[in-house]
Structures are given as structure tokens and as C-alpha cells.
Amino acid sequence: MGTGVSKEADGGSEGTKDRLDDDDHQAGGQLYVSLKMENLKLTTHLVPHVYGSVPLVGSWDSSKALSMERESVSMWEISFVVPPNHETLDFKFLLKPKHSDAPCFVEEGPSRLLIGGALGEDARLALFKLDNGEVLEYQVFVKADRVSPFDLAASWRAYQDNFRPSAVRWIPDVSINSAPQTGGENGSSAGLELDLEHYVVPAPSTSAHVYAANMTENPRSLTSGSGGSSYSSKGMEVIVPDSSKVFQSSGMVESKSVGTFSPLQKQDSQRGLFVDRGVGSPRLVKSSSSNIFSSDLNLGTGTKNSMPAAAGAVAAAAVADQMLGLKEDRHLAIVLVGLPARGKTFTAAKLTRYLRWLGHETKHFNVGKYRRLKHGANQAADFFRADNPEGMEARNEVAALAFEDMLSWMNEGGQVGIFDATNSNKRRRNMLMKLAEGKCKIIFLETICNDKSIIEKNIRLKIQQSPDYAEEPDFEAGLEDFKNRLANYEKASSTVYEPVGEGSYIKMIDKVSGHGGQIQVNNISGYLPGRIVFFLVNTHLTPRPILLTRHGESQDNVRGRIGGDTAISEKGELYSEKLANFVRKRLKSERAASIWTSTLQRTILTASPIVGFPKIQWRALDEINAGVCDGMTYEEIKKNMPEEYEYVDNSSRKKDKLRYRYPRGESYLDVIQRLEPVIIELERQRAPVVVISHQAVLRALYAYFADRPLKEVPHIEMPLHTIIEIQMGVTGVVEKRYKLMD
């Protein structure tokens, strides 16, 4: 029943008094009074109260004071009705600790008088002196309206109707004068057990230490029944189907104006290029050979789009690359170069994850996986000697086969292939450039590490994780074999390893150390190569945790409303205290950690009890914009916007929730686009970060770390009052979950 705040700097109370004097003709009228206090410095552990004479409270006993309700991050409010014969009230404000019986703090100065709904001229500030000598200053605002008994009764009925039990949670939206819970669950005194593992809950099965090469593209040409290239037991026979036949058999239509192919069904003489901008409905771009536009497209779930499912500027750049560039510029091969145990595979996996998350069709092709499938995993170090012609020929054959597989995948709609192998001499790289000629653009990505301690650590991880040593029971024997293999590449007297100096390349020098390093770039141009360089500049392998959590339960969560900017509920406040206790214990030795929130008050309030760490507000972390539906329940959407509700509630939105936009709002793809700077900054950080945000935003962030397909983003479970800890380091990304409350 609260009313708006009147914040005129002067004359506010006089204006209220004049208005009430003019309304004296309303016989039987009563005063509806709203008192508000504002303090821009958050002090969530102290709750403002009011106590005083009849009829406001009826007692000067501070234990019976009325609690004010939080209206916003910095504003507290209490509303009441004053009968006509009690228009002069005598009262004071006081502050009470929220979760303890410690003494309260009564405001300085004489009692306040509220006469006719107006405070005295000198009553705009409330000062409280704390035990430590600190003085808290609150701004005081008052608004009073004279209402008839009939209007008052109607307002009360509306109040009861609007705050009925929620249809979503079936619990009261508002609890009036409810007693606080007692016992171990209430307040910081409950705390957390010393063993944080008490709160661990099972994480998805995919979150574990996984050898990155095992997650790469499966060798299609070495698998029976694969169409495309084939393998002959007498030797390596690479069969590449004629490109024109591939496109004709898959229903592709050639657009002669730009020299590209599109997955459109031929419809008489109609031809066009389908451009998926990542949002909205499919559209056609007319080609020079087309005289008619057709928007009646039948794109089944099995149809592969030639455009990446990206949004906004990302899609615009992709459209320009595909429509204006040559064919080889529309496909990009990132060819890794470097000695073993230099972080190539991990870098490739990380880059693949980033590009997929942005919406670019990207796959990681690991030549070692091809080699193990064809020649077995138990190859001794001699197999990798430069003076072993059989070994050299075998390794070149599987490299050519993997590269041809990558080109075939690109012809089917792939955009960026990450080709992961040592590629350590010019002869091998010249072979790859000849295979790519006219088909894709190559950028060499060379990783160089001069830190012997890091190399030793990487070698040991390789022995533990690589399938090459899965059947070697003796760790030391495997370690010796791998060092011999490495020595075969490092022989200074041979041309086994030749640093990249040709073509377009990116060199990462000592980046894995986490102490800066260097990046050298040569002949790099275009939107996507530029994004790749920017990502690699900011990435490193320093281990550190990233904690993701939703804000504590908000008032709109309870009411089943979309979006909004309400404060947190009592349950949400309890979670904020538990979260602060958790962060204090989990990050007690991490003085460089930071707390990131959105600009919405429910995340700011959740973070407010956390002390000792800097707090940063990101507008990019704000919840998905629900547009004109913001603050509404689904029932209200159904009532007020039936046509939109039909789409919101039907199966078509559920099938493509990724691209769905509320009117004048955002889609999940829009959220991903605005989160890219957040991802880059998270990659750049070397200390732990606690991200307190919202469901849709955290779904998108989690999808990046967990390498989940974009289509799954809107359906990822992101429960309230649960912390997801993402551990980033040289072994990849590992997840752990802590559930602090039900």
C-alpha cells in the first residue's frame, strides 16, 4: 500500500499541509501516511524501526517497535492510517540489528511530531550514533493523503487481491508482522560447517578432468560407414568427393552472384541466399539470378545452416565474411605449431570453446587421435624420429587425412577448423597449405614455452592423461619414453622443428607462465581473426576459481513475475548471509579476489554482507530484458497480450528459445553477445571472482565454461541458493557445486 516518495529539497511538508487543508471538506476523511528513510551507504545488518505514542505504536518500549520494510537498495518505508482525531503523532526512529539481540540505536534529538501529515522543518535528517562512534545519517521523507473510508476499503481489497498466494510457489507473497525464524538456520551465527564439502551436491557428469584431445572431432574417414574419405589397409588412400556432387546431392543451391552455396531447396526458378542473423525470422537475400523472393522456407532440424548462429555485430561480420569474401576466406583453419608439452591441445580446446560460444561453427581436429586409431596408441619414441622414414610417412598420412576431413566438414557448413598437431617443419606446413589452396584460409598458431618447470609439469600431465600411455603401468618408463620422443623433435642438428616464419601466423611466447609473455602477429586481418587474437592476448593458464551464483530469492521470484528490480525476500536475505560466510571461508587466503554483480538491486543486496573484497557492478550482467513483459506474470501476459502469450507458451518457442525475443526485449543470443567482454575479463583475471547475477545470464556464462551447445543454453538448470565453482587451470575446467539452502 506504499505510495511514491516526495523528494523535493524544500517545501515538501508545507505543500503536503496545504493540500490537506484544502481537502478538509472531505468529511470523515483519514490520513494515509507513508514514512520513508534513505541511506545510500548499505547497512543491511541494521533495520530501521518506528516506535512512539498511540495510535502509531502505543508504546515507547523499543522491543515493540514497528519494523520498516525495505523498498529499494537504500530506502526503507512504513505506511499507516491515522484516524481524524489523532492527526498529531509523537514518535522516534531506531535501528535494530537484524539477527541478534544486541542493543538498538535510537536517533539523536527530541521526539518527532507529525501534525496533519507533515513533519517539522528541522526533521529531514535522522542521526544515529553507533557504539564505535560512527554516525549514520538517514534522509527522512513523508507523504500523506487524505482518503475517504470508501477509498480506504477499496485499497485494502485491492491489496489483498494483488498479494494473494503465488500460483507458482503457492506461498504468501508478503508476510505481515511475521516472527523471524529461530534456530540454526537463521543468521550468521549458524554459519557453515568448517568442512565446506558438507554442502557439495553432485555436478553434471561432464565436469571432470578430461584429456582435451579426447573431446576433439572423431575421425570420420577411419570409421566404417562414413561417407567422404576412406582408408585402405595397404596404405593411405585419401578420397575426396567432387565438391559439386556433394552440394547437388544435399540440396544446396549455388548463388552465382557471390559464388557461394546455400542450403535451400530448389523451387522452380527461385534462388536465394538464406541469412540467419541469429534473431527473428528467416530472411532471404536476393541474388542476381533471382527475380522472386520467397519467405516460405522449410528448414528441417536436419538442415545445416551455412551461417553461424551468432547475433548482432558478430552475425553482421559473419555475413560480410561469407557474402563478400572468396571461398577460402569464408573458411578458416587455425593450424597449431609447436613442440610437444607446450600447451597446444589445451589452447586449441579453449579457442574452440570460445568460438562455439560466440556462435561460429567450430571443430577441433586432433591428429594424434587419428594416429592412435590407425597405428595404435603404443608407439615408442622411435616412431617419432626424423630419420625414421616409415614413421614420418605414417604421420604425414594421418595429418593429410585429418586435414581432408576438416575440409569436408567445412564444405558441409563448418566455419573454423582447429588443426592440432606439432606441424613442426616447413615441409609439413607446405603440404597443408597446398591442401588448403582455394578451400580455406590458414593461420598458424605457434605456442612456445621456455619455462622448464612448466614443460616438466605438462609432460607429467601428458603421461597421466594421454591415451598413448594408458597401457603403460610404469609411470617412470612412460616419462622416459616421452622425453625421448621430445628429444627427437628438439635435435638442433636436424630440421625437425622449424619456427613459423611464413604466411599468416600468431606466436604465443611464454603465455602459459601466467606472467605476461608475448604475442607476435603477422599478416592477420578480418573480423574473426581479430577476435581470435584478442582472445589469445587475454587468456592464460593460471589456476583460479570462478564462483557463479544467482542472487538470493527476490520478491518477484516469490510472486512469479518476470524481470523487475525488486529487493530480496527474507529467504534471500538469509542466503546473502550464508553466501558471505561461504565466501569468507572459501576465499580466506585470496586477498586479490573480487565480487561482480549486475546493476539490479537484488544482486547488490545479495552481495552487501560480503566484506573485505572489492565489488564491481556490470550492466552486462543484468538479467535478460523481458521488454514490455517486464514485471508481469505469465497469467498477466495471457490476459493483456493473448497473441504474444500464444507464442510464449507454445512449443515453437520451446524449440527455439535461444532466438526468441519478448517484444522490445532480448533473446538469449543477445545476452551472449553482451557477455563477451565479461568472458574476456574473466579469462584475463588471475585471482578468484564471485559472479552474482541472474538465471539467463548465468546460463550463458556456464555454457561457455562447460562447452555446452548454444541450443541448450536456455534450458540449463541454474538453481537458486547454489554456488557453482568453476576451477580453471592447466588441466581444463572442473566444476563443483555447493547448495547452501533449499
Q: Please give the positions annotated as active site.
A: 420, 449, 551, 623
CA 62 – CA 49 distance, rounded (Å):
9
Q: What is the DSSP string of 380-425?
A: -GGGG-TT-HHHHHHHHHHHHHHHHHHHHHHHTT--EEEEES---S
Q: Which residue has the cell 509523537?
A: 90
Taking the C-alpha atoms of residue 87 and residue 511, their distance in angstroms, rounded to an integer, is 73
- List the end-to-end C-alpha distance of the chain, in Å, as a whole number: 31
DSSP string, 14-49: HHHHHHHHHTTTSTT-EEEEEEEEE-SS--TTEEEE
What's at 606, amino acid-wise? T
| Contact of 78 with 68, CB cutoff 8 Å | yes
Identify whether the C-beta of residue 13 lies closer than 8 Å to the C-beta of residue 142: yes
* Complete DSSP assignment for 238-282: -----HHHHHHHTT-EEETTTTEEE----BTTB-EEEE--SSSS-
By three-state DSSP, how is residue 444 classified?
strand
Whole-angstrom distance, CA of residue 361 vs CA of residue 348:
14
What's phi and psi for 299, nearest 5 deg? Answer: -100, 105
| Max intra-chain CA distance, the chain | 108
Write the CB contacts of 395 (distance below 8 Å, at least 6 apart in sequence). Answer: 367, 371, 384
User: Residue 283 and residue 285: Cα distance in Å, rounded?
Assistant: 7
**Cis before 55? omega within 30:** yes
C-alpha cell at 223: 570409421
DSSP string, 60-125: --GGGPEEPEE-SSSEEEEEEEE-TT--EEEEEEEEEESSS-PPPEEPSSSPEEEETTEE-TT-SE
Neighbours of 539 (CB within 10 A): 18
Coil, helix or strand for 615? strand
**HSE-up (13 A, CA, CB side) for residue 602:** 29
